[in-house]
Amino acid sequence: MEDKATQTPVNETAQTTDTTREYPAMTMEDVLSTEVQYKEPQRGDVVNGTVVFISSEGIHVDVGAKVEGVIPFSQIHEEPITQEQAQELFKAGDQIEAYVVRVDLPNSTIVLSKRRADQDRGWRVLDTLFKDGKEFTVDILEKVRGGLVASIEGIRAFLPASQVDTRRVNDLTPYVGKPLEVKLIELNKKRNRVIISHRSIMEDRKARAKADTLGKLEAGAVLEGEVVEITDFGVFVSLGGLDGLVHRSELTHARFNHPKEVVKLGDKVQVQVIDLDGDRERINLSMKALQNDPWQSAVEKYQIGARVSGKVTNLTNFGAFVELEPGLEGLIHVTEMSWTKRIRHPQEMVKVGDTVEAVVLRIDNKDRRISLGLRQTTEDPWSTLPDRLPPGTPVKGKITGITDFGVFMEIEEGIEGLIHISELSHDRVTNPAELFKRGDEIDAVILNIDPMEQRASLSRKRTIPYDGPARDYTKQGGGERSERPQGGGQRGGQGGGNRRKREGFDYDYSYAKESTTSASSGKISTKLGDVYADLFAQFGIGGKKEEGKE
């Protein structure tokens, strides 16, 4: 039994020895090297990590350090977000790039920022764009004082108002929320300064287009352009690198008040080069030259005496302009507006915008003038007046005017006649204003009516009985009345009896003739008014004044 008991440990020892593995010799350094290697992040590093979980503190990220980093919700985007929003954007296992803001390993704290990592990446992109001078597109975020703001890879960039266009832009609001092609003109990371420009792109393209356009420009060339500016004196049209001016006189044949009534900004128009100054880069253009000139067919289309219809476009002191068709206007002078009324201003008859009917009176194709008549569309009351009111017809009316040589009396509505001072009374009248006043109603008789000149001569004294003494012409001038020469012949040869003509007017003095005439004595009994009338006729008194007034 002892032998067996003694042998048992020996066998166990042998068995243990057989199963024991032999390991190579290891030092402490070897043991430490087998532990997980952690890289301690430094402030300012940009690290890649994996989202572990999202808590109320932020997004926990494994960045390969002994502790996890945390991205606060305020450091994810430009604007802070909530935990719920962060959970919608990121899930456990997502890869994320972050910027190391602060490292405090003794306190197990690593603060990260995704926003600053995005900015760092954005600066690298901006630096490449700036060095290469490349053009790129940005979205305009907002309008600020002096310009616009855009975001490039998470970095705010400023677009000055002076760099928005080649011309001054007063209202920047239409650019907000829209994409715009720009290029970097200034970049300073230390000062966080990023300046972009759209104008520089336009100028570069304009310079290239300018060279191409100058090669095609010559007087008479027809080009298509875009209206880029409208002023009081004309329209600027972009021809591709160069702008030309269409003066307001070269816009259209039609009448307009402002060029904006003819074209609008952005309109595509056909223009013809009138003249070109290449050194000063001044180009005068015309749109009207490519339009049909209505005056070329005006003479054939509008015959004298023809009735036409048009729209009143302008009123002046001397008449109204009527547009017969675009680019063709005629003038209705104030004297051609009414047969009877004294028109002081055209607005008494028409107003701007009225459609009127008129008659063509004259056409001057050389001076581009058309004279129209408004009154010719109605019957001329003067043409029938001699038939309705022959000489000797009694009339009654009001005095409408008083002059030194007589008074004007209204025969019919709008028609006036003159009572010469010699026909006012049998007594001598030196000042009609002492006897009459405007508005007085008087009786008269018709002496003569000239419808061509629209003149009527009246007499008041011939409606008044004459009771004065008869005059003896033999004692006053020698010989009988019929024997005195009156302009190369006897009075009897100028109408016979007591009818005389003076300066185109027929005066009948038969009312003054007495019932009997003494042939034996050679005396003719007459009234004092005849004597005055004869004296006026001999010395030419009164006639010239009448003509001057009429």
Nearest alpha carbon to residue 269 among 285, 253, 282, 257: 285
37-56: per-residue pLDDT in tens?
556 788 888 888 999 998 98
Give the per-residue pLDDT at 37.
Answer: 54
C-alpha angle 36-42-45 in degrees, rounded to nearest 5: 105
* Residue 28: pLDDT band with limits 50, 70, 90: low
Q: Are 462 and 509 in contact (CB under 8 A)?
A: no
* Residue 468: pLDDT band with limits 50, 70, 90: low
Q: Is the pLDDT of residue 436 over 50?
A: yes
Lowest mean pLDDT among 140-154, 222-236, 268-282, 512-526: 512-526
Which residues of 387-539 form beta strands (DSSP E)?
Answer: 394-403, 406-412, 415-420, 441-450, 455-459, 499-502, 505-508
Q: For the residues 88-117, what does the mean pLDDT come to?
A: 87
Q: Is the pLDDT of residue 266 over 70?
A: yes
DSSP 3-state of 335: helix
For the stretch 503-525, what's the b/e string if a residue is b when 16 or more beta carbons lie within 10 angstroms of its beta carbon? Answer: eebebbbebbeeeeeeeeeebbb
Average pLDDT value over all residues in the chain: 78
Q: Would you give the distance in Å from CA 282 to the centre of its chain?
A: 24
Query: Alpha-carbon distance 83 to 269, whole Å?
Result: 58
Measured in degrees and rounded to the nearest 5, phi and psi for residue 491 equal: -60, -35
* Residue 498: pLDDT band with limits 50, 70, 90: very low
Give the per-residue pLDDT at 183.
Answer: 92
The reply to whether the predicted model has a pTM over 0.85 is: no
Q: Are 348 and 308 in contact (CB under 8 A)?
A: no
Give the per-residue pLDDT at 419.
Answer: 93
Domains of the chain as residue ranges with CATH: 42-118 (2.40.50.140), 134-203 (2.40.50.140), 219-289 (2.40.50.140), 294-377 (2.40.50.140), 387-459 (2.40.50.140)
* Residue 537: pLDDT band with limits 50, 70, 90: low
Choose the most confident range, by mean pLDDT, from 97-101, 144-148, 491-495, 521-525: 144-148
Nearest alpha carbon to residue 160 among 173, 149, 175: 149
Query: Alpha-carbon distance 133 to 137, whole Å?
Result: 13
Strands 328-333 and 319-325: antiparallel
Q: For the residues 263-268, what does the mean pLDDT come to?
A: 89
Q: Is the pLDDT of residue 255 over 90?
A: no
- The residue ranking higher by pLDDT, 233 or 511, is 233
Judged on CB neighbours under 10 Å (0-12, 13-18, 19+), 319 is: buried
CB atoms within 10 A of CB 104: 10
CA atoms within 13 A on the CB side of 90: 26
* Residue 138: pLDDT band with limits 50, 70, 90: very high
DSSP, residue by residue, 141-153: EEEETTEEEEEET
173-230: per-residue pLDDT in tens?
999 999 999 999 999 988 889 999 999 998 888 788 777 777 777 888 888 888 989 9
What residues contact 27, with CB distance under 8 A and at least 6 apart?
none
445-455: per-residue pLDDT in tens?
999 988 888 88
Q: Is the pLDDT of residue 548 over 80?
A: no
Give the per-residue pLDDT at 221.
Answer: 83
Q: What is the 3-class SS of 155-179, one letter each residue?
A: EEEEEEHHHCCCCCCCCCHHHCCCE
* Residue 152: pLDDT band with limits 50, 70, 90: confident
368-413: per-residue pLDDT in tens?
889 999 988 888 788 888 888 899 899 999 999 999 999 999 888 8
Q: For the residues 475-486, what does the mean pLDDT come to?
A: 42
For 217-322, where are the alpha helices, taking DSSP H only? 298-301
* Residue 5: pLDDT band with limits 50, 70, 90: very low
Share of the chain above pLDDT 70, in %: 77
Q: What is the 3-class SS of 470-486, one letter each residue?
A: CCCHHHHHCCCHHHCEC
Q: Is the pLDDT of residue 484 over 50?
A: no
Q: Are 232 and 268 in contact (CB under 8 A)?
A: no
